Structure 1
Amino acid sequence: MNILKFGGSSLATPERIRLVSKTVENYLAQGPVIAVFSAFGGVTNDLLRMADLAANEDVTYKHILETNEKRHLEAVRELIPVTNQSAVLSQVKTQFNKLETLYEGVYLLNELSDKTKHVISGFGEILSSLIIAEFFKSSVQNSVLVDARELIVCKNQNEKVQVNYQKTNKNVLEYFGSSQAELYVVPGFVARNDQGVPSTLGRGGSDFTAAIIGGALQLDKVLIYTDVNGMFTANPNLVSQAYSLKHISYEEAMELSHFGAKVLYPPTLQPLLEKGIEIHIRNTFKPEDPGTIISKSSKKNFRWVTGITHIDSIKLLNIEGSGMVGIPGFSKRFFETLYQENINVVLITQASSEHSICVAVKDDEAAQAKEALDETFELEIGLKKIKPVEIEENVSVIALVGDRMKSHHGLSGKMFSALGNNNINIRAIAQGSSERNISAVIAKKDVTKALNTLHEQFFEVPSKELNLFITGVGNVGSKLLDQLKKQESYLLEKLRLKVRVLGLSNSRKMVFNENGLDLENWESALDHGVKASKMQFFEHVKELNLRNSIFVDNTASAEIAGWYKNYLENSISVVTCNKIACADSYENYEHLQNLAREYGASFLYETNVGAGLPIIDTLQNLVASGDQIHKIQAVLSGSLNFVFNNYKAEEPFYKVVETAMAEGYTEPDPKIDLSGVDVARKILILAREAGLKLELEDIERDNFLSQECLDSTTNEEFFRLLEKDEPDFKELYTSAKQSNAELKYVAQLENGKARVGLQEVGEQHPFANLSGSDNIVLFFTDRYPDQPLIVKGAGAGADVTASGIFADIIRIGKK
């Protein structure tokens, strides 16, 4: 004999019921079948909703009742042959007449008792089994409808169910022992109490019905058919990478279902566990899928952690005070009070100092629990030995579950480290001595991020998902997007990094896609985006609250740089080629560094100096390893180097600058480069990385431009003045030529002071043969006193700058 249970989603439409009948018929080929049915999908919710409406004197319950009656009558007409419909239609109408009477009573009395609620909520299963039993009569000759209320006896108080197994098992054995039917159609969920009054087994109780009958008959297994492929490593609606588990133990299933896994109703395991009866969870719509088998052992699982789950509808109760310390019986009084109020405790944690007790309870029981506890400890509260109970809202419990967790060290460390790295604050922690469950209380807003973070940590092929939000898609930004698209497969296969671009913005438009933007068509997506707003861009990134989020700034905007602190203090890493933030006041520079450390985010700006060259990284490694920086000499402007390498006093100076601008070597305002401000910012950043507290005004600048050029307000005016000053530039070039030297714009840091300016460099100097837009940096240190450590290469251009940003993103991925 086999027992099968089908949930409401499997019975939502006549088409689905026909699909269910095929599954039942397949099992009938093996022998008698007991089929337990829930209410049609959504009906129980409607029944309870109508009861609440009636209790509040809201007559709209009548329209919902009429809709449900119509739905059931239509199911009869579609599923049952015309010749057999009359009797069934009459029975369905009779049941709805009873419901109507019950609702009228609730409406008139303006009261909804627990007893009435249980009676009303069971009508869905009674109706569905009535219709389905008649439907099967056309294909199964010897089928009967069994009234579960005549079999299962229980006590139901405040949704807490206690089954009288002695009476129930006796009823089940007597009934099925004396019957020779081929198919037994049983309504799930419904039962009666010791007085014979209709009751229920609680929400999800149809699973329980099947387990109670299967346990009483001591069958080999109980099959539960639902709309998913078994129990998953995590909620697949919140974690897209979650997958179904083939085998888990009773204890693991108990933990997962207790902590919110909706596939299985927790009490279902009670009548099966001691008898070793397996539970098979299958998908009605994919009957070929093996689903999940719940049994005594989960040794077939190769992972230490079996699943990750959570509970949403909870609140924390916290009681603390010096009056608790060393007082015998305090905990007894605390939990006895909750017991007397019939309040179930989901999670318990107590400080070893005995100074506080923290418990999690259901949302709707928190106020009642506080009132009762405050009354119990009224004397102690009045004497200020303890504080009144505090309720903390908007929290959830997340839990790692697995039988094998106790055999593996460091799991809790990995769990808390992964959460901490994503700015997920833990309010309370609990771990049982069996080490089968590690639970933590976190903010409800962080649940999805936490589940995905932990799933990535414990279940997925060692890989990491990076979520990018990019502002600035001009020369550098567009090159970065091209590189990300080109290297997508390589990053996943070789570095185990899945890099997704979820948001893009320019000065006009912005666009988001939670599933990742198509990098082949990002321009079109951005064109069809919404009006750009720096605040709304940040708020959307914050609201998404995704793990491993990175804000990428490819602009030169001071306004955007001002938003870095907002991202960092929300544990969103920042990668930027924008020098303004790091060259701002030292106070702001230090504040950003501190925020990154405090909130576990990365603040990377390698491209601030030398584009894609590893200049800042090299300097940081020298300092971190204890080397002492004595002097830094550098050519740090790729644009200025390009200009003076190409200016031969033949073509006008302004023309060379125009070429540099056209090829992307300068800022949009070339005066920033030629004035030396850009180089001053770069040497300032290096000085700060070397440990000096300098400001931009501390950098001495020798200008080669006229004051008129420096005071110009537009590019047109600037180039006109450059043309006017051509004789001065020719003189500079001629002077260097006569000395067999080259003109280089040099930055130098020595003895705590920094300066930048145009210099004539002899042909033997390392700077002399610097071609194109190359940069070069010489580090003179304790370890490199005479022969400096040299970093040299292309220091400007969209491609190399984009590659530097790319490298910083990868650095975060490897963190």
Structure 2
Amino acid sequence: MKVLKFGGTSVQDHQNIQKVINILAQEAKKDKLAVVVSAFGKTTNKLIQSAELAKHKDNSYLQLLETVENHHYETIKQLISKDADSVIAHINTLFNQLKTLYKGCYLLEELSPKANAIISSFGERLSSYIIAEAAKQILDVSFKDSQELIITDNNYLKAQVDFETTYSNCRAFFNQNNSQVVVLPGFIAKCYDGQTTTLGRGGSDYSAAIYAAAVNASELQIWTDVSGMFTANPAIVKQARPIRHISYQEAMEMSHFGAKVIYPPTIQPVREKEIPIYIKNTFQPEAHGTLITLHTENSSPVKGISYVENISLLTIEGSGMVGISGVSKRLFEALSDDEINVVLITQASSEHTICVGVLEEDASKAVESIAKKFAYEIERHKIDPVKVENDVSIIALVGDRMKNHQGLSGKMFSSLGKNNVNIRAIAQGASEKNISAVIKRLDAKKALNTLHEQFFGDNIKQLNLFITGVGNVGNRFLAQLQQQKEYLLDNLKIQIRVIGISNSTKMYFDEKGIDLKDWKKSLLENGEHASLESFLEQAKQLNLRNSVFIDNTANQSVSKMYQQYLENNIAVVTCNKIACASELQNYKKLKEVSKKYNASFLFETNVGAGLPIIDTLKNLVASGDRVHKIQAVLSGSLNYVFNNYNTNNTFHDVVAKAQEEGYTEPDPKIDLSGVDVARKILILARESGYELELSDIDNNSFLPEESLETTNNEDFYNSLTKLEAHFQDIYAKANTENCKLKYVAELVDGKAKVGLQHIPQAHPFYNLEGSDNIVLFFTDRYPIQPLQIKGAGAGAEVTASGIFADVIRIANN
């Protein structure tokens, strides 16, 4: 015989019940079946809610009861054609009994545990009878009331089973019953004096396990709305997958820690007789589901990650606990006396502190119990008053074979730490089948996804990007992401999702990842109003692991937001030079915050666009080398301008062309004034270890005062036209000396300057073409022949590729 149990979602309505009957028809061909069913979906909750309303003399209980009643009659109408009148008559009788009970609650203004149990039982009594009658239309089916078989004590709402009597009853009944299928209500039983009792939360699972153990069933099938137990909650972790095979012990640990597909006590009766359990999906019956047995084949040491939410952490501490026997006994005695379930326990070896986790709803009662028990010690300051921390969750790694693998705890806590998930308490049993950590409830989603990626991600790391600035550089960057998506996944095991994008007026978010084929018109243009603060708030609220903020602007206001992103463990990648060239104190602060919150702050494209200039410099310094001198052409726009300017064109036209090609900043005066180059050499100086301010950079600008004093691009370009003779004169002097004009940045022993220089033919800068950059590093290791980096140093495409490289650096961190 097999025992099959169908949960509330499986029998929620007539369509689902028809699926159940189809499954029974297939299974009945192979073996006799005992079928345990729950109440129709949400019915028990509605029955209890109606009782509470009646107790408070709220007549709306009648309307709520009417919806329950109508649903059951509609189900009968859709499923039963033979003898429908007799079925309806029986259901009428049950509802009349129920209404009488509600009337009693209404008049007495009371809902006792006994009455609550009787009212709660009607969900299963109604559903099991209807399903049995519906299945009779095509199968050999009989109905049996579980109250005639399962005997308990008189703890009405969470009764303890008398297994000896119950097993005897079950064997006697099933030995005499000849039906191919027997339908029984789950959850309900009766005590020795014949009063209705219930088996508590998940009681239908428990009923099925009791029947399976009583008759030595060949297997127990738990049919639900998911395809087995998952490696994590699939509603929270989209990458979660079904576990094909798991042990009883692992299943119990998973179910204790939030996996709701099976009720923990269900496992114990069948475990004793080694009856296999299958978790199956009513809506995908062909899916394998999860098999639960005593042992499993060798597999991953971690089988699943689960969590319990709505926990309160209670801490009792004080010097009066040290070396005093019986403190723990008294603590747990106090909680037990008030029927408070302890979910987690952890105690420091110093005996100075004990932490316990309880359900949030029990926290106030627990504090009162402990305060009462230790009133003497608290009054004399030997023990501190109980500390309560609400809004926490417990997250747990589960696996039988974890004890045989070193480093799992380290991997767990390291991956959480990298994502700034603060751990409030830790518990691990000597069996090492479970490693539990208490964290903030708000971090639970991030923590679950982080751990799942660490232990089940096939070494794939997911990055979640929030991008501000989708103009030239941002547009190219998004195009590169779309183009390289498959390559990154297949070759580097990196999955990059763009979660938020923003321009100056609109922003758009999609937690599942924005479709980069259609982000511009149909998504961003129809997005919500954008502001820097609201963009940050959205990123904070989503609280995704491996989050990265990308600034593709040249906006000072955006750069002022970096610290807040870093403080929320959101990495920052930027081509915006303003932050790193701001006051030295701000630059240092950003570096400190980056380290403190373990959030990368990368700005490779601040100097040389996509060239690995800053990264190379960092490696030199990290390896112990010391920079004495830097000589560089760092402005792709200025190099482009002076490479193309001659007597055959105008300075105005060459600058306009450079801006059109995307080599300059939106305000070209920033480039031509030398401010942009000064910022770049300042950044290199700081990364070399020199503490300089922008005002310390000697900027010998070639622009006339009239051009420098303009306040908009139109006036600036007009000044270039007006002062063409000035620029021709500069060109002529260099040409006369057979030199080329290059805007050079220099750092020598901590002093920096930038300015236009005449470069002779023998100099490495002479043949620098187009918009290329070049940097020469003179160091202890490269004192005469400098380390040289040369290549394209401007343009949206190469800048975007530099940002891309920084993102990859974060992924590989």
Structure 2 gap ranges (5+): none
Q: Is contact 1:151–1:168 with CA below 8 Å preserved after alignment?
A: yes
Match of 1:28 in 2: 28
How do 1:278-297 and structure 2 match up within 5 A?
278-297=276-295
1:807 to 793, 805, 808: 805
Q: CA deviation at 1:288?
A: 1.6
1:472-514, Cα deviation, whole Å (9 max, x unpaired): 1111111111111111111111111111111111111111111
Question: Which one-letter code corresponds to 1:264 in the other structure?
Answer: I
Q: Is contact 1:468–1:501 with CA below 8 Å preserved after alignment?
A: yes
Question: Which one-letter code corresponds to 2:609 in the other structure?
Answer: A
Distance (Å, rounded) in 2 between the aligned partners of 1:584 and 1:790: 27
Q: Is contact 1:229–1:289 with CA below 8 Å preserved after alignment?
A: yes
Match of 1:49 in 2: 49
2:773 to 753, 758, 775: 775
1:583 to 581, 584, 587: 581
Q: Point out the more displaced range, 70-79 or 474-483.
A: 70-79
User: TM-score, normalised on structure 2?
Assistant: 0.98
Question: Which one-letter code corresponds to 2:712 in the other structure?
Answer: T
1:37 and 2:44 aligned: no
How do 1:171-182 and structure 2 match up within 5 A?
171-182=169-180
Match of 1:470 in 2: 467
1:19 and 2:19 aligned: yes
Q: CA deviation at 1:67?
A: 1.1
Question: Which one-letter code corresponds to 2:323 in the other structure?
Answer: G
Distance (Å, rounded) in 2 between the aligned partners of 1:660 and 1:768: 20
Match of 1:183 in 2: 181
Question: Which one-letter code corresponds to 1:10 in the other structure?
Answer: S
How do 1:727-746 and structure 2 match up within 5 A?
727-746=725-744
2:508 to 508, 511, 518: 511
1:338-380, Cα deviation, whole Å (9 max, x unpaired): 1212211111011111111101111221111110100000011
**1:137/1:724 Cα in 2 relative to 1: closer, same or farther (>3 Å)?**
closer
Q: Is contact 1:234–1:308 with CA below 8 Å preserved after alignment?
A: yes
How do 1:121-520 and structure 2 match up within 5 A?
121-141=120-140, 143-155=141-153, 157=155, 160-300=158-298, 302-520=299-517
Q: Point out the more displaced range, 27-36 or 457-466.
A: 27-36
1:793 and 2:791 aligned: yes
Distance (Å, rounded) in 1 between the aligned partners of 2:342 and 2:698: 68
1:223-256, Cα deviation, whole Å (9 max, x unpaired): 1111111111111111111111111000000000
Match of 2:542 in 1: 544
Q: Point out the more displaced range, 553-562 or 380-389.
A: 380-389
Q: CA deviation at 1:156?
A: 6.3
**Secondary structure in 2 matching 1:538:** helix
Distance (Å, rounded) in 1 between the aligned partners of 2:157 and 2:761: 90
Cα RMSD between the aligned structures? 1.3
Distance (Å, rounded) in 1 between the aligned partners of 2:218 and 2:28: 16
Match of 1:659 in 2: 657
**Secondary structure in 2 matching 1:11:** coil
Question: Which one-letter code corresponds to 1:18 in the other structure?
Answer: Q
**1:161/1:745 Cα in 2 relative to 1: closer, same or farther (>3 Å)?**
farther
Q: CA deviation at 1:118?
A: 1.4
Match of 1:107 in 2: 106
Q: Is contact 1:348–1:359 with CA below 8 Å preserved after alignment?
A: yes
Q: Point out the more displaced range, 459-468 or 554-563.
A: 459-468
Match of 1:68 in 2: 68
Q: Is contact 2:343–2:357 with CA below 8 Å preserved after alignment?
A: yes
Question: Which one-letter code corresponds to 2:9 in the other structure?
Answer: S
User: TM-score, normalised on structure 1?
Assistant: 0.98
Distance (Å, rounded) in 2 between the aligned partners of 1:19 and 1:728: 87
Q: Is contact 1:736–1:742 with CA below 8 Å preserved after alignment?
A: yes
Distance (Å, rounded) in 1 between the aligned partners of 2:100 and 2:253: 41
**1:323/1:225 Cα in 2 relative to 1: closer, same or farther (>3 Å)?**
same
Q: CA deviation at 1:603?
A: 0.5
1:404-460, Cα deviation, whole Å (9 max, x unpaired): 111111011111111111111111110110000000111111111111111111112
Distance (Å, rounded) in 2 between the aligned partners of 1:413 and 1:92: 58
How do 1:623-702 and structure 2 match up within 5 A?
623-702=621-700
1:740-781, Cα deviation, whole Å (9 max, x unpaired): 211111111112111111111111111111111111111000
Q: Is contact 2:741–2:756 with CA below 8 Å preserved after alignment?
A: yes
Match of 2:115 in 1: 116
1:133-160, Cα deviation, whole Å (9 max, x unpaired): 222333234x321110111122364954
**Secondary structure in 1 matching 2:277:** strand
**Secondary structure in 2 matching 1:552:** strand
**Secondary structure in 2 matching 1:102:** helix
Q: Point out the more displaced range, 286-295 or 172-181.
A: 172-181
Question: Which one-letter code corresponds to 2:296 in the other structure?
Answer: S
Distance (Å, rounded) in 1 between the aligned partners of 2:508 and 2:709: 38
Q: Point out the more displaced range, 233-242 or 723-732.
A: 723-732
Q: Is contact 2:237–2:448 with CA below 8 Å preserved after alignment?
A: yes
Q: Is contact 2:158–2:197 with CA below 8 Å preserved after alignment?
A: no
1:678-710, Cα deviation, whole Å (9 max, x unpaired): 011001101110111111111111111111111
Q: CA deviation at 1:164?
A: 1.4
**1:156/1:279 Cα in 2 relative to 1: closer, same or farther (>3 Å)?**
farther
Q: Point out the more displaced range, 794-803 or 157-166.
A: 157-166
Q: Is contact 1:156–1:200 with CA below 8 Å preserved after alignment?
A: no
Q: Is contact 2:116–2:157 with CA below 8 Å preserved after alignment?
A: no
Q: Is contact 1:69–1:93 with CA below 8 Å preserved after alignment?
A: no
Q: Point out the more displaced range, 405-414 or 718-727.
A: 718-727
Distance (Å, rounded) in 1 between the aligned partners of 2:508 and 2:139: 58
Question: Which one-letter code corresponds to 2:800 in the other structure?
Answer: A
1:39-95, Cα deviation, whole Å (9 max, x unpaired): 11111111111122222322211101011111111222222225x122221111111
Q: CA deviation at 1:649?
A: 2.9
**Runs of 4+ with >3 A deviation:** 155-161
**Secondary structure in 1 matching 2:432:** coil
**1:136/1:726 Cα in 2 relative to 1: closer, same or farther (>3 Å)?**
closer
Distance (Å, rounded) in 2 between the aligned partners of 1:220 and 1:33: 10
1:251-272, Cα deviation, whole Å (9 max, x unpaired): 0000000101010011101111
**Secondary structure in 1 matching 2:10:** helix
Q: Is contact 2:154–2:192 with CA below 8 Å preserved after alignment?
A: no
Q: CA deviation at 1:289?
A: 1.7
Distance (Å, rounded) in 2 between the aligned partners of 1:159 and 1:592: 57
Distance (Å, rounded) in 1 between the aligned partners of 2:612 and 2:446: 33
Question: Which one-letter code corresponds to 1:520 in the other structure?
Answer: K
Match of 2:564 in 1: 566
Q: Is contact 2:640–2:770 with CA below 8 Å preserved after alignment?
A: yes
Q: CA deviation at 1:109?
A: 2.3
**Secondary structure in 1 matching 2:383:** coil
Structure 1 gap ranges (5+): none
Question: Which one-letter code corresponds to 1:131 in the other structure?
Answer: I
Q: Is contact 2:739–2:761 with CA below 8 Å preserved after alignment?
A: yes
